[in-house]
Amino acid sequence: MNGTDDGISRWRRVADELRSAVSMGEFADQLPPETELASRFGVNRHTVRRAIAALSVEGLLRAERGRGTFVNAVPQRIVYPIGARTRFSENMMRQSLEPSGRLIQADIVAADAAQARLFGCRMGAPLHRLERLSVVDGAPLSRSTSWFSAGRFPGIIAAYAESGSITKALLQEGLADYRRKETRLTAERITARDAEFLQCAADSIVLVSRALDVDAEDRTVQSVVTRFLADRMELVFANPSGQS
């Protein structure tokens, strides 16, 4: 590890590299002594201890007095297929998992220039904005922000609050089917607000999906940004045509 931090604390760099080493199977059971890790990463033992403490909070490691630091069993990532008809509840139920959704916040916002283009409306037109938390088997999995046309789906907020499902809410609003037109994916460090809702470490990584759903006439149904915890999810992009 070089002396350049690039705005990221040394202990975080050590934590990231230890996390990667564990995921690759380099440390299957127990970590080497702190002195060995300090030498490996070119830092002092205090930095190593802080990195280990952070990974212990995440649940990845556990320190046992007089014995050393051990690797906890890593839960298997949940597979989440993304295709033309991505449906959260259906994806989870196919894996015998129990999905649920919770409405965190809802309000009406004015469409900006980008949203106006997406929804084919004028700037300033009212959009419903929904903040949602998706939970699987009682554990928070992702946090999403969705936008819908308030004119087209006036009751979407109440419908989602009742059902906990976007698909069911849209059905109540008269839309029987929709498809995923586009998904853009990036990896980012989690924000403090998302860490609170997702019950994870403050330096966790999230996979950020920015997606657009449309109806049969190619009209925008939903614009949605979803933050998935990277250590709990494996996103799989389906390609039904078999073409690259």
pLDDT at residue 141, rounded to an integer:
84
87 in Cβ contact with 95 (< 8 Å)? no
- Confirm whether pTM is higher than 0.75: no
The pLDDT tens digits for 2-46 are 544 544 588 988 988 898 888 778 887 899 999 999 999 999 999
- Residue 114 CA neighbour count, 13 Å, CB half: 3
Q: Is 78 exposed, middle or buried (0-12, 13-18, 19+ CB in 10 A)?
A: buried
pLDDT at residue 76, rounded to an integer:
65
List of the chain residues with pLDDT < 50: 3-4, 6-7, 242-244
* 45-58 and 34-41 helices, crossing angle to 10°: 110
What is the C-alpha to C-alpha distance for residues 206 and 143, in angstroms, rounded to an integer? Answer: 10
Question: Which of 46, 37, 41 has the alpha carbon at shortest distance from 5?
Answer: 41
Instruction: Say if strands 179-189 and 205-214 run parallel, antiparallel, or are unpaired.
Output: antiparallel
Q: In which residue are the tokens 């015998």 written?
A: 96
Architecture of domain 10-71: Orthogonal Bundle (1.10)
pLDDT at residue 243, rounded to an integer:
45
Which residue type sits at 123? Answer: M
Question: Could you state, in order of their start, the residue ranges of all structural domains in the chain?
Answer: 10-71, 78-237
106 in Cβ contact with 128 (< 8 Å)? yes
pLDDT at residue 7, rounded to an integer:
43
CATH ID of 78-237, from 1.10.1370.30, 3.40.50.720, 2.60.40.1260, 3.40.1410.10: 3.40.1410.10
Q: For residue 71, how far is the Cα from the chain centroid?
A: 24
The residue count for the chain: 244
Which residue type sits at 7? Answer: G
